[in-house]
């Protein structure tokens, strides 16, 4: 059966036809599967919640299928038949030759004990062991690793040889949101497929259907989800729309004192959302709660970066520019008129940098205070010499 070795898994029926708005990635997969020799290693990269896990399961199903069919002509790509016992087992998440691993919810990184045998390893096979096992039913075996970019350096080095020298008939699919944290040697050994952000309209419709949001709320959340259904769902579960309104109000008259109050408000919102989300997960640990808190802080910093991104668009394109924050046109117009373009570009860059500092385990409260004080300066209500 599929080894959901790290908690909740990805349980869904699947085919390539069900993967929406990923035409380039699906076409690349089709070309790969139609080749005489299929590579043993794949890397699926793209935002969270855009169909990477769906595509990984569809690929695994095809590789394990006993009677793969040809799609679109005699020389078309292989597709799972969907009828054989292998396909039915994959659909029921019980195929003995399909393994699925992801980061434990109580950990900030994917630990080495999940990669290779160590104290604390799971009772079942580790990632490396799953690749070396002989197939039990199919002619091949497939190992899918979500969160692969979250391997720490020790785990990544322990995994490298397995990814480089997988035995015949073993396939590895790494599912990642970024390539930056993968070892260059791992990146160079896998067939890379990039998955695009989903269209805002598609995300908004799913938010209305699955999360009961009004059309207006869904459209607002979709604009800030960056094409990620996972991020959109997180925004829907939080009070992001109301929180965003409070931030926009605060920006209109920001000074040093209000900037520090805004930093406290962001920290409180992120902490509240993290606690609420952690309570709904299997592992209610401080590590997971802190990880989630940092994700919400990054979303808030992205919201601030979006204000200056909008100002940059207005400066370049005028009032007809398509804005993330169309309802904050007066503030954005003022920033576009009063700040030099290079200053607006600097602001966008700075708030993206602050997001990277979150990933580097910076002290959240101090980071937010510095960011909001800098925000007040960019908004023109404090003197440049007051920057810290």
**What pLDDT, on the 0 to 100 scale, is given for residue 289?**
85
Check pLDDT > 70 for residue 367. Answer: yes
Domain boundary among 141, 172, 194: 194
The conformation of residue 93, written as its DSSP 8-state character, comes to T
pTM for the model: 0.79
Q: Mean pLDDT throughout 119-130? A: 91
Per mean pLDDT, which range of 225-234, 317-326, 378-387 is the poorest?
378-387
- Of residues 73 and 253, the one with the higher pLDDT is 253
Q: Dihedral angle at the C-alpha atoms of 291, 296, 298, 302, nearest 10 degrees?
A: 160
Average model confidence (pLDDT) across the chain:
87
Domain hosting residue 373, numbered range: 238-386
Contact 188/39 with Cβ under 8 angstroms? no
What is the pLDDT at residue 97? 96
Q: Are 284 and 174 part of one and the same domain? A: no
In angstroms, rounded to a whole number, what is the distance separating the alpha carbons of residues 101 and 32?
Answer: 24
Q: Are residues 180 and 295 in the same domain?
A: no
User: What pLDDT digit, counting tens, does each position of 206-242 carry?
Assistant: 999 998 888 988 888 888 888 999 888 888 888 888 8
In this structure, are 174 and 287 located in the same domain?
A: no
> Has residue 121 been placed in a domain?
yes
DSSP secondary-structure letter at 151? B
pLDDT in the model for residue 8? 34
Asked if the structure places residue 369 within a domain, the reply is yes
In a domain, 210, yes or no: no
205 located within any domain: no
For 346, list phi and psi in degrees, rounded to 5. Answer: -65, -40
CATH of the domain at 104: 3.40.50.300
Say which CATH number the domain at 326 has. Answer: 1.20.272
Look at residues 139, 167, 194 and tell me which one is the last residue of a structural domain.
194
My answer on whether 179 and 290 are in the same domain is no
Do 141 and 246 lie in one domain? The reply is: no
Q: What is the pLDDT of residue 259?
A: 95
> Are 255 and 326 within one domain?
yes
Are 21 and 83 members of one domain?
Answer: yes
* Rounded Cα–Cα distance for residues 372 and 350 (Å): 11
Same domain, 15 and 142: yes
Q: CA–CA separation, 330 vs 314, rounded Å?
A: 11
In a domain, residue 213? The reply is no
Q: Please state the rounded mean pLDDT for residues 8-37.
A: 80
- State mean pLDDT over 137-161: 94
Residues 249 and 186 both lie in one domain: no
Q: Is residue 28 part of a domain?
A: yes
**3-class DSSP assignment, residue 281:** coil
Higher pLDDT, 375 or 360: 375
pLDDT band at 326; cut points 50, 70, 90: confident
Report pLDDT digits (tens) over 30-88: 889 888 789 999 999 999 999 999 999 999 999 999 988 765 544 445 789 999 999 99
On whether the CB atoms of residues 244 and 303 are closer than 8 A, the answer is yes
Closest CA to 54 of 12, 96, 4, 95: 12
Number of domains in the chain: 2
Is 108's pLDDT higher than 80? no
pLDDT band at 7; cut points 50, 70, 90: very low
Q: Within a domain: residue 201?
A: no
Report how far residue 328's alpha carbon sits from residue 306's, in angstroms, rounded to the nearest whole number.
11
pLDDT at 373: 95
264 alpha carbon, distance to own chain's centre: 26
Rounded CA separation 57/301 (Å): 34
Mean pLDDT of the region 353-358? 92
**Residue 202: inside a domain:** no
Residues 158, 11 share a domain: yes
Name the band, by pLDDT with cuts 50, 70 and 90, for residue 281: low
Residue that is last in its domain, among 158, 175, 194: 194
What value does the mean pLDDT take over residues 130-157?
94
Task: For residues 156 and 293, state if they share a domain.
Answer: no
**What are the residue ranges of helices labelled H in the chain?**
23-34, 52-64, 85-91, 112-115, 127-132, 153-164, 184-187, 200-211, 215-224, 229-237, 240-251, 256-279, 286-317, 329-338, 341-359, 364-378
Together in a domain, 101 and 25: yes
């Amino acid at each position: 059966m599929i080894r959901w070795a790290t908690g909740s898994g990805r349980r869904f029926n699947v085919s390539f036809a069900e993967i929406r708005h990923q035409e380039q990635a699906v076409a690349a997969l089709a070309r790969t599967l139609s080749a005489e020799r299929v590579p043993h290693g794949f890397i699926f990269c793209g935002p969270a919640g855009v169909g990477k896990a769906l595509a990984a399961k569809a690929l695994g199903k095809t590789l394990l299928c006993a009677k793969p069919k040809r799609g679109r002509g005699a020389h078309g790509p292989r597709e799972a038949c969907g009828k054989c016992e292998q396909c039915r087992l994959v659909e029921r998440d019980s195929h003995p030759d399909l393994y699925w691993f992801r980061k434990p919810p109580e950990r900030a990184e994917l630990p080495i004990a999940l990669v290779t045998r160590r104290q604390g390893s799971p009772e079942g096979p580790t990632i490396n062991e799953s690749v070396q096992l002989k197939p039990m039913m199919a002619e091949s075996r497939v190992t899918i690793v979500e969160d692969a970019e979250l391997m720490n350096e020790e785990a990544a080095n322990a995994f490298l040889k397995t990814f480089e020298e997988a035995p015949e008939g073993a396939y590895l699919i790494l599912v990642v949101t970024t390539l930056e944290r993968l070892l260059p040697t791992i990146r160079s050994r896998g067939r890379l497929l990039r998955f695009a952000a989903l269209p805002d309209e598609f995300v908004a419709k799913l938010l209305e259907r699955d999360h009961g949001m009004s059309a207006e709320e869904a459209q607002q959340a979709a604009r800030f989800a960056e094409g990620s259904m996972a991020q959109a769902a997180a925004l829907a579960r939080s009070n992001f729309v109301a929180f965003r309104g409070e931030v926009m109000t605060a920006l209109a008259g920001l000074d040093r004192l209000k900037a520090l109050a805004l930093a406290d408000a962001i920290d409180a919102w992120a902490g509240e959302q993290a606690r609420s989300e952690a309570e709904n997960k299997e592992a209610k640990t401080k590590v997971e709660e802190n990880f989630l808190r940092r994700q919400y802080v990054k979303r808030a910093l992205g919201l601030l970066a979006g204000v200056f991104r909008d100002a940059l668009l207005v400066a370049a394109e005028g009032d007809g520019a398509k804005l993330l924050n169309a309802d904050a046109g007066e503030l954005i117009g003022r920033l576009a008129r009063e700040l030099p373009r290079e200053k607006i570009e600097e602001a966008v860059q700075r708030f993206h940098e602050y997001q990277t500092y979150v990933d580097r385990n910076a002290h959240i409260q101090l980071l937010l205070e510095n960011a909001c004080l800098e925000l007040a300066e960019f908004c023109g209500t404090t003197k440049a010499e007051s920057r810290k």
